[in-house]
């Protein structure tokens, strides 16, 4: 059984890290090759398909593991170790347009045989590819860091694929035995096409052509509400990343070891958060259910300390594993609703045992100062322990 488990872990490791590493190394090797025939050509096709299929899947998985919230701009308040989006959400249409331009250009160059395309069409396709590479390069610069290097693997491979294809086209053109001098009726296009018959000038010519193409794309995007400088603002109007120019609010700490506390991380319309509280010197999200549960535990500790210790030990043993599985707002909503009957029972006990039950509930998670003030008014400080603020 242990051998089977080890084998599964090893295979998962190969899938998560080994495959991206293999594809990256393979593409790096191919970039420096001058012959794309035979087995190398077949492997190139296989690795190209794997990159296009697995790249988006792995990237989404890495984003989830890193807890990057792609829908949360720098102005939003996050929880625990969550990280704001590296790309401003308002600029997604601009980036997606440039990415689609790159994809269209790559497919044009990859799927249409070179002897069916005039050099001017090839240069236009390379210029489209450059638009997509611009997005990839900016993404890599923005993301690059010790904790997020895996998020650069897919765009890095896209850059390598583009370089391989451009180099392959140049080699194919230079190896043609007879020049295909397709003509244009327009004299200007005809002269331009004649100058582009040398494949060595294609990359530079595509870079020049990229500028008017970007201008046209930006002009169209402006008509749909995008700003002309959204390509830059997409990466600068963020926080916590390399190109970020903004400072986001400090993350709110939510203790994931306790059911009520974890359940408070659900959707606002369901769990109804009231305010921020203090727990273990961290800010936590506080809702009515959490305050009621903590107030009930205080009463249980004061009135029946031995029973409280047994219940606390039982909960610490079996409640923690359940609470750790609360990883999404929907799960938190479900736990919140399942604990509603317990909340009502706790509330009944509090109202039976406390003269001012709502005062006790309201003072939960206000820090030691608030608890001490409440206890002083009840004359309880001298002979009682400070409740540590654990929650059910």
Query: DSSP letter string over 116-135?
Result: GS-HHHHHHHHHHHHHHHHH
- Distances from the Cα of 355 to the Cα of 350, 361, 368, 379, angstroms: 9, 12, 21, 14
pLDDT value for 183: 57
* Residues contacting 241, CB < 8 A, separation 6+: 86, 142, 143, 235
**SS3 of residue 349 by DSSP:** helix
Distance CA 111, CA 122 (A): 12
Residues of the chain with pLDDT under 70: 1-2, 4-6, 9-10, 12-16, 80, 146, 175-186, 189-190, 192-196, 250-265, 279-283, 316, 318-328, 367-392
Contact 293, 392 (CB under 8 A): yes
* Six-digit token string for 186: 């327009």
pLDDT digit string, tens, across residues 76-134: 877 767 889 999 999 999 999 999 999 999 999 999 988 888 888 889 999 999 999 99
**SS3 of residue 258 by DSSP:** coil
Indicate the domain borders of the chain: 2-236, 259-378
Q: What is the DSSP string of 214-234?
A: HHHHHHHHHHTT--TTHHHHH
Strands (E), 165-291: 273-279, 282-287
pLDDT value for 233: 92
Distance CA 103, CA 116 (A): 20
At residue 234's C-alpha, the angle toward residues 149 and 55, to 5°, is 40
Contact 97, 217 (CB under 8 A): yes
Q: 273 exposed, middle or buried (CB, 10 Å; 0-12, 13-18, 19+)?
A: middle
Contact 110, 126 (CB under 8 A): no
- Length in residues, the chain: 392
pLDDT value for 67: 82
Helices and strands in the chain, H and E counts: 17, 4
Distance CA 85, CA 92 (A): 11
């Amino acid at each position: 059984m242990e051998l089977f488990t080890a084998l599964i872990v090893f295979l998962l490791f190969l899938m998560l890290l080994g495959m991206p590493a293999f594809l990256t190394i393979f593409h790096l090797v191919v970039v420096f090759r001058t012959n794309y025939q035979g087995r190398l050509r077949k492997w190139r096709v296989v690795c190209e398909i794997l990159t296009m299929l697995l790249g988006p899947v792995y990237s989404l998985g890495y984003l989830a593991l890193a807890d990057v919230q792609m829908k949360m701009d720098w102005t939003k308040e996050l929880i625990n170790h969550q990280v704001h989006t590296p790309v401003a959400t308002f600029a997604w249409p601009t980036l997606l347009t440039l990415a689609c331009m790159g994809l269209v250009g790559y497919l044009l160059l990859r799927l249409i045989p070179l002897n069916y395309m005039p050099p001017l069409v090839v240069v236009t396709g390379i210029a489209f590819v450059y638009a997509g590479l611009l997005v990839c390069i900016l993404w890599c610069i923005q993301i690059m860091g010790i904790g997020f290097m895996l998020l650069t693997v897919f765009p890095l491979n896209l850059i390598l694929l583009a370089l391989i294809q451009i180099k392959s086209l140049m080699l194919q053109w230079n190896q043609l035995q007879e020049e295909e001098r397709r003509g244009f009726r327009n004299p200007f296009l005809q002269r331009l096409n004649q100058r582009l018959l040398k494949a060595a000038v294609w990359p530079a010519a595509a870079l020049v052509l990229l500028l008017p193409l970007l201008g046209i794309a930006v002009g169209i995007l402006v008509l749909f509400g995008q700003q002309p400088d959204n390509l830059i603002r997409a990466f600068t109007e963020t926080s916590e990343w390399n190109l970020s120019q903004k400072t986001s609010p400090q993350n709110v700490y939510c203790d994931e070891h306790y059911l009520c506390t974890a359940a408070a991380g659900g959707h606002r319309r369901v769990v109804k958060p009231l305010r921020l509280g203090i727990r273990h010197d961290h800010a936590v999200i506080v809702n009515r259910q959490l305050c009621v549960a903590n107030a009930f535990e205080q009463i249980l500790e004061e009135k029946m300390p031995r029973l409280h210790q047994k219940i606390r030990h039982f909960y610490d043993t079996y409640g923690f594993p359940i609470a750790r599985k609360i990883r999404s707002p929907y799960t938190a909503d479900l736990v919140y609703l399942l604990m509603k009957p317990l909340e009502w029972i706790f509330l009944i006990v509090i109202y039976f045992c406390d003269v001012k039950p709502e005062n006790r509930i309201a003072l939960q998670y206000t820090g030691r100062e608030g608890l001490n003030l409440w206890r002083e008014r009840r004359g309880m400080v001298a002979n009682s322990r400070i409740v540590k603020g654990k929650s059910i």
